[in-house]
Every structure is written in structure tokens, then in C-alpha cells.
Amino acid sequence: MIYGAMKFSIGGSLKLAFRPWVEGLENIPEQGPAILASNHLSFSDSFFLPAVLDRKVTFIAKAEYFTAPGVKGRLTAAFFKGVGQLPVDRSGARGAGEAAIRAGIQVVESGGLFGIYPEGTRSPDGRLYRGKPGGLARVALATGAPVIPVAMIDTEKIQPPGQVVPKLMRPGIRIGKPLDFSRYQGMDGDRFILRSVTDEVMYEIMKLSGQEYVDIYATAAKRQIADEAKAKAEEARRDRKQQARTGDENGTERSGA
């Protein structure tokens, strides 16, 4: 009931304001389990995709969204529960991954739609990054559920970092045909199979989205971008310091003259 109310209010408002276009809705089964594997461009991806589907989609979210103190914390927790998010403790990398896998398996085995972002985090620059094999592939091989590739398009342009007011524009969603990995069921302990399954899904997402593919993890790309920004800031600081020192020396020479 809460999910339906949130979908009607928030989902209806998103559809009315942004008018997202959708291709491939016929690839979503009317009933039964499936895994929706999507690229990840924006925080809003987890809202636009459920808004255009008739069925409930369950994603996972960090536990901090559900445990924050105060009135704001309780409202945030109620919101995320209402839109079907499952809390996962991310305090330990390995424990978080196992918790996410268990949560995904439970959703799928109950006959639901489980949404997952194989990149593990939002793309820092709009490109498509290497998928992490631990979550998507393990849930798929443990359950035998079909994997449906999904491409979110232009959602990162609606509210780029630092922009307070969202830009009213039409994002897009392309939904591909289901991928069957049942031939590998029970082989979720083979890391080569996990990588193969993940790469096949990422390839389909790349074809749907038209994104440039980068064969590194998005988390590594974010660290690289942060390190480069830090290095540039440090270089600029040294330049300013050198310019100030040069100005002081010139001033001293003129005074001495």
C-alpha cells in the first residue's frame, strides 16, 4: 500500500514533470522473478525506473538511510522503505556484499523484480564502467532468474553535481531482452563464470545506452579523478605561493634601489 501510494505521488509527479520516454517495456515479465541490471548515472535512476513500470522494483540502499536520528532521519527511513529499498550495512566491504547478495536472492526467490547497478556506484563522468561480478552474477546463478539489461539515458543531466534546481528535460529508459544464464546455475563459486556473466550483461547495457565503455571499476575512476583534482589544487597553491614570493622579492629590490 505504501509503495503504491509513493509510486502514485512521486512516480506520477516525475512522469508528469519530466515525461521520460521508454523503449522495451514488453521485455519486463508481467509476473515472476527477474533481475533488472542497469547502468547508474544519477541518484534519480532508482525513481525513474520504478515510475515507468507496473510492477514493484526492489533496490538495495545503505543502512544509514534507515537509521539516521531525528525527525529528518525518520522521514528519510519512511521514504526509502516506502519506495521498496532494502537496507544493507556497508560498514564492511565483504559483509556488505554478502548482505546485498542475500537480499537480492530473497527478492528474486519471492517472485519479485530485483534492481541492481553492476557498476556498484554512479558513473563519475557519464561513461560506462566495468561491472563488479560479485553481486549481479551471484544472484543470477543462485536463482536462475533472467537478467534484463536496462539503460538509463541522460538522467545525469537533470541535476549535475552542484546544481540545486533540476533541469526539466526528458530522460530515457531502454529495456533490453532477458538474458538466460540458467546454463551456469550452481556455478556461482567459479570466478571466471561470474566475470563472463557480468561482462555479457555490461556489453548489452553498452549497446542499449550508447555509452563509451571503460574497462576499470567506477570506484577506481573516482579515486583517480579525486587524486587529479587534488594534484591540480596543490599545483595551483604552489603557483600562487611562488607568485607571492616573486612579488615580495620584486618589491624588496625596488625598495633597495
> Mind listing the pLDDT tens digit for each residue in 98-114?
878 888 999 999 999 99
pLDDT, position 95:
57
pLDDT at 112: 95
Residue 201 banded pLDDT, cuts 50, 70, 90: very high
Q: What are the two backbone dihedrals, phi and then psi, of residue 129, each rounded to the nearest 5 degrees?
A: -110, 170
- Statement: residue 183 has pLDDT above 70: yes
Higher pLDDT, 97 or 197: 197
DSSP class of residue 16?
A: H
pLDDT classification of 90: cutoffs 50, 70, 90: low
* pLDDT of amino acid 38: 97
Distance (Å, whole) CA 217 – CA 250: 49
Q: What is the DSSP letter of 220?
A: H
pTM confidence score: 0.84
Q: Which segments within 111-241 are labelled E, that is strand?
A: 113-116, 128-129, 147-153, 172-175, 213-214
- Phi/psi for 37 (5° steps) reads -105, 115
What integer pLDDT is reported at residue 91 of this predicted model? 56
State yes or no: pLDDT of 202 exceeds 70: yes
Residue 92 has pLDDT above 60, yes or no: no
| Whole-Å CA distances, 108 to 84, 112, 161, 176 | 14, 5, 33, 19
Interacting residues of 55 by C-beta distance below 8 A, sequence separation 6+: 28, 30, 31, 113
Which stretch of 21-25, 42-46, 155-159 has the lowest confidence by average pLDDT?
42-46
Average pLDDT over residues 47-73: 81
Give residue-wise pLDDT tens across range 209-251.
999 999 999 999 989 888 888 888 888 888 888 887 776 666 6
d(CA 181, CA 28): 17
CB atoms within 10 A of CB 185: 13
Which of 60-64, 121-125, 209-213 is most confident? Answer: 209-213
Cα separation values, 89 from 65, 96, 98, 134, Å? 10, 6, 10, 16
What's the mean pLDDT when you consider all of the chain?
Answer: 86
**pLDDT at residue 65 in the model:** 67
Task: Specify the higher pLDDT residue, 237 or 252.
Answer: 237
Give the residue with greater pLDDT, 161 vs 190.
Answer: 190
CA 82/CA 149 separation, integer angstroms: 25
Q: Which residue has the cell 507496473?
A: 54
What sign for the dihedral angle of Cα 223, 213, 130, 161? positive
pLDDT on residue 173? 98
pLDDT of res. 83: 67
Per-residue model confidence (pLDDT) at position 89 = 64
